[in-house]
Structure 1
């Protein structure tokens, strides 16, 4: 089978047209939108964050109006939801620190309260801490594909092959999800992309009254932040990218998915050592080297004989659900005990722990926004036929059995007909040297190998601090005083390490 879709010429009639050469985006904002001379964004009217719980009482919310199509600033508009906690010491304030949400598909309205609480007091004094719901998420013109409940299972959203390696079911799922998304209202869905997020961020900057922004992007937020720094380099102040992926403009999110195979292998030894520690009450094996074969054998058994798991989606613990749970659990060592409890119950025949299944409503928005971003960003998903995917999956299953071929399997983007409508951004060394990257050495989602590609793309614009830690997200997230101090110093003084640095545990 060959996967095809109509050719879409990036002509001026397409809503999001930009100059054809990504390398020409270094010094100037996007051409057509800039030439249209959009009206200045209106100052944000701050007020209470209604309908939200668990927030810092000082957090305020507001909206910023942006064009649905930035190339047509006089056309339809959407409102972006923004939030802030103002500087706690106005006399020390030096600007705005924008938290760029991850995902893609994650809302960020809660971030000044959530991540803001983690920041050192000196940083909270120096900055208004601001975040936003990217277009299509949360309260910013949210999108939905109205998928059935069973298609919201992570086991299905991630393209896990069948137990025998067949990819027939993931192929059918990918086509069905793409078709379902495209059958609904695509007015906003077709405009969700990383380049449009960068343009939206610049309108937020303008509405905040800031000549330049400082930023803290985490996970996918590092890519959105990198694209902003490429499109609007003269608007960046102190730019922190925390847990970066490979910005390869030919692959983007397809490369990020593939990197899960590397990330799981990088992070798994930490779990194995923990699971074999004699002092661990949740110990799973006598030796660390016994944990991998034990887990692979359990997954194979669950492939043959799934266990009922009421309340989960799907309502069974099969081999792929266990593999997906392993991947999710490697995001943070704090999740290891819950994974061990599930493994113990499944292996020994005890009652399974209660599943942690997110509500369908939240999943509908996250899935739609995530798919729109990764599919609208780059066209690299659509050129391979099923035979190519089958070969890639078989090779990956042999080399990386913990992920069983999932990271290189087909996604709905292979059948997506809404985008992309403009070239992908190439990150280059041209621009101000004001980027500080921080990265855990063993990161399941954005492995160090990919972060090094981002570091190389920026050249002397960036420095990178590698922290000897497992997990996803590094700054003020894993207790490494060395790494935290280097980022805090940069945010407060602009001082970066003279060269790339390593922080021991």
Structure 2
């Protein structure tokens, strides 16, 4: 269970539709951020933190307020500083440490000179006014990516688990925050942060779920967003029911990279061809479905493989291969010293509040049974997990319609995307690209893994993003970057994204 919880914390979206009575151009009240030492679990060299008060309900902007905590890795070159760069690591998850993680992961010094890099704990999450569902450790696992449904009865059984999770969220001490903990309100909070920092405009860099937050932010606030970079993109609907099903497509897109890598190393014993490696996956999953081994079931093995595909190259693939070999041969599993992130219950509860509050999910269990049956055939590796029922099926109706990503506004959006991504596949990114129309250009990189800019090895893609952030030089047309030889030297530390 610890291995699953720690890994699942990784993955742990025409005119804009705005809350009635709230204009996207409404000026935020002038405030001053007092920078202080960051909380212990977010502390990092050079990082300082502060809070901004924002409306709980933007339909009542002078009513009750909540806190949003932010961090700053300040530019140390006043002559080159051009503004602020708001960031989001995905998840939804805490983002206070993310500026420091980006710096450690290789964010170019020129970018750090040009911007104060700002981290944000989105409303409901981390050190911003938090939400809770009072979930047990087992329910925290259940509140993340659902398990592979081996039979239709598994969907019905899982429906009971997810219904109880939704009930606990609705009965928690923070239930009054549920209607207002949404991506649209998190985007409105970002504009309040911009104003509180005294900036006429803000640039933005978001990964994974953070691409949907950034797309909503750019849609609601076209006049106060500057240079917007969206990396590893959700579809135009965000993390709705179809967005969740896209995981299955992502696994099918990405797995061949691992299969070729393993087949080129026959000493691993996982197969001498990519087809044989794929067959080994189904063999191991079937054996564990019939008889769990070393504390892992078939659905858990599929989940760990899915998470293992987030990385790429020798280090990531070796870890995944070691897991497979141990299960195949009955030898002890490789040690797992990955610490559980602090506040995991809040991270899972916050994810549920935001994802379930953004859009209405199907409420019929039969719908999920049909989706699972279809995707089990269409995407056999992971389809019966990605399509399985989630607590959102039993969530209260959202208080506002989802924001429709709009092509109305300046041409200030640069999307960057790996061609093979297990969590946010290229097919979803293309739907967001279409929704933005002429506002966006997209750079695709012929590589796998989750995360391209800074995280990936493609110089072409990295240079395109850095050039845009520094000089506003965005490709005139969509750009495809060819595959490059993986880097064999340099730092292996990369920021964690959800």
- Aligned to 2:189, the other structure's residue is in SS state helix
Question: Take 1:390 and 1:122, find their aligned partners in 2: how far apart are those partners?
Answer: 51
2:124 aligned counterpart, secondary structure: coil
Give the whole-Å Cα distance in 2 for the aligned partners of 1:378 and 1:404: 21
Q: Tell whether the 8 Å contact from 1:342 to 1:352 is kept in structure 2 after alignment.
A: yes
Counterpart contact for 2:15–2:408, Cα < 8 Å: no
C-alpha distance in structure 2 between counterparts of 1:360 and 1:129, whole Å = 23
| Structure 1, gaps ≥5 residues long | 1-22, 309-315
Coordinate RMSD, CA, aligned: 2.1
Given the two structures, how large is their TM-score scaled by the length of structure 2? 0.89
Aligned to 2:319: 338
How far is the alpha carbon of 1:69 from its aligned partner?
1.3
Give the match for residue 474 of structure 2: 496
Provide TM-score, normalisation by structure 1: 0.88
- Determine the structure 2 residue equivalent to 1:302: 288
The counterpart of 1:273, out of the listed 254, 260, 278, is 260
* 2:79 is the counterpart of 1:91: yes
2:190 counterpart of 1:190 = no
Say which of 135, 138, 144 aligns to 1:157: 144
1: CA distance between counterparts of 2:369 and 2:22? Answer: 42
> How far off its partner does 1:410 sit?
1.3
Q: In the TM superposition, what whole-angstrom CA distance separates every residue of 1:379-407 from its partner, at most 9, and x where no partner exists?
A: 1333xx23332222112112222115111
Q: How many residues align?
A: 465
Matched-pair contact (CA < 8 Å) for 1:45–1:63: yes
Give SS of 1:82's match.
strand
Check conservation: 1:160, 1:404, Cα contact below 8 A: no
Equivalent residues of 1:303, 1:318 under 8 A apart = yes
Pick one of 222, 226, 241 that aligns with 2:215: 226
Give deviations 1:338-379, integer Å, cap 9, x for gaps.
221111111101012234675486321111111111111011
Of 33-42 and 114-123, the range deviating more from structure 2: 33-42
Q: SS at 1:153's partner residue?
A: helix
- Per the TM alignment, residue 162 of structure 1 is displaced from its structure 2 partner at its CA by 4.0
* Residue 415 of structure 2 is aligned to residue 415 of structure 1: no
The answer as to whether partners of 1:149 and 1:360 remain within 8 angstroms in 2 is: no
Question: Who is 2:244 aligned against?
Answer: 257
What runs of 5+ residues in structure 2 fail to find an aligned partner?
A: 1-13, 484-498
How far apart, in 1, do the equivalents of 2:453 and 2:433 lie? 17
CA distance in 2, matches of 1:454, 1:72: 31
Q: 8 Å contact 1:64–1:204 — kept in the other structure?
A: yes
Superposed displacement of residue 35, structure 1: 10
Alignment check: 8 A CA contact 1:102 1:217 kept? yes
Matched, 1:362 2:343: yes
Q: Which moved more, 1:399-408 or 1:432-441?
A: 399-408
- For 1:50-449, list aligned pairs within 5 A: 50-52=39-41, 55=44, 57-104=45-92, 106-117=93-104, 118-153=106-141, 157-166=144-153, 167-185=155-173, 186-248=175-237, 252-278=239-265, 282=268, 284-308=270-294, 316-333=295-312, 334-355=315-336, 359=340, 362-382=343-363, 385-417=364-396, 419-449=397-427
